[in-house]
């Protein structure tokens, strides 16, 4: 890995074993991009890559020069209006009303390691040798504004991270209308855009479309990263599949409004812009102030989409997630939401917990309904203390003690950002919600969004949560966020600060998380937002796992978990076995298949365990043992998607330990069929020279290359349930050593 500056040519070459990224100081002192892709040898100059020619209608920067037009030069951080007519990365409105800027190279720094972003989540290093960074300082002398573009290249991953920072050095204020985290100009448009789209209960479905002239993209303006569009896109070549071909991934470490825009111009050049959505953003920057954009993580893979995903998994699992739970295996959880909803009492909870304990589960999570006047979704949010002693006679402290006394850990649900009108909090502070004066206050699920851009609101919620978490034995927090933001306005701010509110809200969420995880470092946090509406890298920096979806049906989960795995490590996905008929889709699936899907995540149960038959309980006990035996492998192994639920009846995948000595592969068949031929399940990621046994059967031994090239012969006799729909099979592979 290295970052080299060639002084004579004014070129920066950022590279490691896998990727190269080349930046040039252009003749107008702005920054151009010469190349991004597979690693190439370093050279003093690549300036033959600069495109400059006379084209009718093009505008040129210098008099008597008919070749230097920003319309055709690939740039690092372009702005609209000085010969480039495409969407730019930055727009600043100045005192005189102009939006034209000119950021020229001033200086740069190259250093080992990586800096953290202030107040924002970002990837990190544990030792300086893991990465190298470049900061390029640009300066617009007319308005006295500095722009710092930062780049980090990791040593052992095909990853480059970027962010931008604007600093107001002048006496005047400016208004930032747009500041993207990165712009990448690519020289052709022979790509397909892959992204993760969805809605409540069917989050992160994989979508793919061919690029074409004009604008294409995805975004969220919901106030969260959203279940509609995850803050991620990839550009892949048409023939790229899971294991071959080029793909560029762009993932934004942010949990609020975002935009991922791809523009193909009429000379077939592709511009990727990614960052905070400019339409819901306007940031007045006063003298001496700075604005920091979120970080974008760019992965280049020449080994297909799986390789891209594996780079994201490794980086996010080990250098984005923090704290004690980064490296700890996750407890097997039993959550009461799908069992009881808000209708429960202590005895009911204890009876589920007791059975959970008998079946080997390790942590009970009490979901919504324990606080304030909360018996339905019209009341209680905001009152994070027990008032209904009919439900919980000894409060949370008493319940937690009883569960701990059983030898189980205890977890609790919160929705810190929300309030119901029927709550002590709202009665005391009706003006603490985000709402536009004189306008209707739209609700969702009867709840309103607290103004987390205000410190006094954060302070109040922090104090309530700190008290509960400090008083009772709580080992786990499920932090939910069950609505999008409407009429976004903070009455605590002036008119010219309203454009900040969406972003400051997100900073407030990050701030509260940071305070709580610092105060309670042993608590495992799980983020949630009506299931997976805020499953993004920003959240993973604070909470190492996310409730993947409110849809707990195993077959629906195949798609949801498969899509989520494009970017996110499987251990970050909360995945529970629930009851049948499934509450969301009414489907009846074998209990084995429900577990076979949920194993590939942070595993647990979400049903009334006391309704299970003795036979089912026996199976559940075995499932819990199975997960415990293999959770280290599931958490730290390398995950390969093999067949896609978006493409056919079969879904399959495998997770292989780093040393390739063990693996778990799963094969799911959605609809049953009849009188079909044999199928072979070709595995991935094994060591070709190692011998493996399957499911501890020492009578048959297979080489890794055999399992990958020939495959396991699928014998439906071995499926978890025979002759029915939704059957599946799981294979545990272990290196065979001759005794
Ligand atoms: C959201 C979550 C669920 C559950 C409910 C409680 O929908 O995704 O898991 O916690 O809220 O209201």
pLDDT in tens, 694-711: 999 999 999 999 999 999
Q: Is the pLDDT of residue 680 over 90?
A: yes
Residues 6+ apart with CB under 8 A from 172: 94, 95, 143, 144, 287
Q: What pLDDT score was predicted for residue 476?
A: 98
546: phi then psi, degrees, rounded to nearest 5: -135, 140
Q: Report the nearest-CA residue for atom 12 of ligand 1.
A: 368
Classify residue 707 as exposed, middle or buried by CB count within 10 Å of its CB (0-12, 13-18, 19+): buried
Predicted confidence at residue 484, as pLDDT, reads 98
Instruction: Please list the active-site residues.
Output: 480, 550
Q: What is the pLDDT of residues 460-510, one digit of tens each?
A: 999 999 999 999 999 999 999 999 999 999 999 999 999 999 999 999 999
Burial class (CB in 10 A: 0-12, 13-18, 19+), 63: exposed
Is-above-0.95 flag for pTM?
yes
Q: How far apart are CA 333 and CA 335, in angstroms?
A: 6
Name residue, tokens 């489907």: 587
The Cα–Cα gap between 561 and 256 comes to 22
The CATH number that domain 2-319 falls under is 2.70.98.60
Residue 715's pLDDT is: 87
Ligand 1 geometric centre to CA of 662 (Å): 36
Please provide the average confidence, as pLDDT, over all residues in the chain. 97
Strand segments, DSSP code E, in 608-726 are: 638-643, 650-656, 662-669, 679-681, 691-694, 697-703, 712-714
Residue of minimum CA distance from atom 11 in ligand 1: 530
Helix/strand/coil for 497: helix
Is it true that 333-417+448-481+511-636 and 650-735 share their CATH fold? no
Mean pLDDT of 536-548: 98
DSSP 80: T
CA distance 660 to 420: 52
Q: Where are the domains of the chain?
A: 2-319, 333-417+448-481+511-636, 650-735
Residue 24 has pLDDT above 90, yes or no: yes
Half-sphere exposure of 501 (CA within 13 A, CB side): 27
Cα of 546 vs centre of ligand 1, distance in Å, is 12
Q: Cα(124) to centroid of ligand 1, in Å?
A: 31
Q: Which of 202, 379, 480 to mutate to test the pocket of ligand 1 (most atoms within 8 A of CB)?
A: 480
Provide CATH code, domain 333-417+448-481+511-636: 3.20.20.70
Give the C-alpha separation, 198 to 88, whole Å: 28
Residue 125's pLDDT is 98
Distances (CA, A) of 12 to 111, 186, 268, 400, 447: 13, 17, 25, 57, 51
Residue 51, pLDDT above cutoff 90: no
Ligand 1 binding residues, C-beta < 6 A? 337, 367-368, 413, 480, 482, 528, 530-531, 547, 550
User: CATH topology for 650-735?
Assistant: Immunoglobulin-like (2.60.40)
Q: Is the pLDDT of residue 739 over 80?
A: no
Nearest residue by C-alpha to atom 2 in ligand 1: 530
| 177-229 confidence digits (pLDDT tens) | 999 999 999 999 999 999 999 999 999 999 999 999 999 999 999 999 999 99
Q: Tell me the pLDDT band of 377, cut-offs 50, 70 and 90.
A: very high
Give CA–CA dist 528/546, Å, rounded.
6
């Amino acid at each position: 890995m290295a970052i080299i500056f060639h002084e004579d040519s004014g070129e920066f070459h950022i590279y490691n074993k896998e990727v190269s990224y080349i930046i040039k100081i252009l003749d107008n002192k702005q920054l151009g991009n010469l190349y991004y892709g597979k690693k190439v040898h370093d050279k003093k100059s690549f300036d033959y890559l600069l495109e400059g020619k006379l084209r009718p209608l093009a505008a040129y920067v210098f008099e008597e020069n008919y070749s230097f037009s920003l319309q055709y030069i690939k740039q690092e951080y372009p702005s609209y209006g000085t010969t480039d007519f495409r969407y730019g990365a930055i727009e600043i409105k100045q005192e005189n009303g102009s939006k034209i800027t000119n950021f020229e190279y001033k200086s740069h720094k190259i250093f080992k390691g990586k800096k953290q972003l202030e107040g924002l989540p970002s990837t990190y290093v544990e030792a300086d040798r893991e990465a190298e960074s470049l900061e390029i300082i640009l300066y617009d002398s007319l308005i006295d504004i500095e722009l710092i573009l930062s780049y980090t290249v990791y040593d052992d991953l095909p990853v480059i991270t970027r962010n931008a920072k604007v600093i107001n050095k002048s006496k005047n204020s400016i208004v930032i209308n747009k500041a993207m985290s990165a712009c990448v100009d690519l020289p052709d448009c022979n790509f397909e855009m892959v992204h993760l789209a969805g809605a409540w209960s069917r989050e992160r479905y994989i979508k793919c479309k061919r690029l074409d002239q004009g604008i294409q993209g995805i975004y969220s303006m919901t106030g969260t990263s959203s279940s509609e569009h995850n803050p991620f896109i990839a550009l892949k070549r048409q023939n790229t599949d899971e294991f071959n071909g080029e793909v560029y991934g762009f993932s934004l470490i942010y949990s609020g409004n975002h935009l991922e825009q791809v523009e193909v111009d009429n000379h077939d050049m592709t511009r990727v812009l990614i960052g905070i959505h400019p339409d819901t953003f306007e940031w007045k920057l006063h003298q001496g102030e700075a604005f920091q954009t979120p970080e974008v993580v760019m992965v280049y893979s020449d080994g297909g989409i799986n390789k891209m995903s594996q780079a994201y998994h490794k980086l996010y699992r080990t250098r984005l997630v923090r704290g004690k739970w980064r490296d700890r295996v996750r407890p097997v959880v039993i959550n009461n939401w799908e069992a009881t909803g808000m209708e429960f009492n202590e005895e009911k909870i204890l009876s589920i917990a007791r059975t959970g304990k008998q079946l080997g589960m390790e942590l009970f999570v009490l979901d919504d309904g324990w606080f304030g006047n909360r018996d339905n979704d019209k009341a209680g949010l905001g009152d994070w203390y027990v008032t209904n002693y009919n439900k919980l006679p000894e409060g949370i402290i008493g319940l937690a003690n009883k569960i701990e006394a059983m030898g189980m850990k205890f977890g609790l649900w919160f929705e810190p950002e929300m309030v119901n009108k029927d709550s002590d909090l709202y009665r005391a502070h009706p003006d603490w919600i985000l709402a536009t004066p004189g306008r209707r206050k739209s609700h969702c699920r009867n709840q309103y969004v607290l103004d987390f851009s205000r410190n006094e609101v954060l302070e109040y919620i922090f104090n309530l949560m700190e008290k509960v978490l400090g008083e009772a034995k709580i080992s786990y927090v499920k932090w939910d966020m069950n609505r999008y933001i409407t009429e976004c306005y903070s009455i605590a701010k002036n008119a010219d600060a309203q454009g900040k509110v969406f972003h400051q809200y997100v900073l407030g969420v990050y701030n509260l998380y940071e305070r709580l995880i610092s105060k309670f470092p042993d608590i495992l946090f799980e983020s949630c937002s009506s299931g997976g509406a805020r499953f993004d890298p920003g959240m993973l920096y604070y909470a190492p796992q996310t409730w993947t979806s409110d849809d707990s049906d195993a077959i629906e989960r195949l798609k949801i978990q498969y899509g989520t795995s494009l970017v996110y490590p499987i251990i970050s996905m909360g995945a529970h076995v629930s009851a049948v008929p499934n509450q969301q889709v009414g489907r009846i699936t074998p209990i084995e298949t429900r577990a076979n899907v949920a194993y590939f995540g942070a595993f647990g149960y979400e049903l009334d365990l006391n309704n299970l038959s003795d036979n089912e309980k026996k199976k559940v006990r075995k499932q819990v043992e199975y997960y415990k035996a293999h959770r280290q492998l599931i958490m730290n192994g390398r995950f390969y998607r093999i067949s896609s639920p978006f493409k056919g009846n079969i879904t399959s995948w495998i997770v292989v330990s780093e040393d390739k000595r063990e693996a778990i592969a799963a094969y799911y068949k959605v609809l049953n069929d009849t009188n079909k031929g044999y199928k072979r399940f070709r595995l991935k990621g094994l060591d070709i020279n190692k011998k493996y046994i399957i499911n501890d059967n020492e009578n048959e031994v297979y080489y890794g290359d055999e399992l990958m090239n020939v495959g396991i012969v699928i014998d439906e006799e071995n499926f978890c349930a025979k002759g029915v729909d939704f059957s599946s099979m799981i294979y545990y592979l272990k290196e065979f050593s001759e005794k």
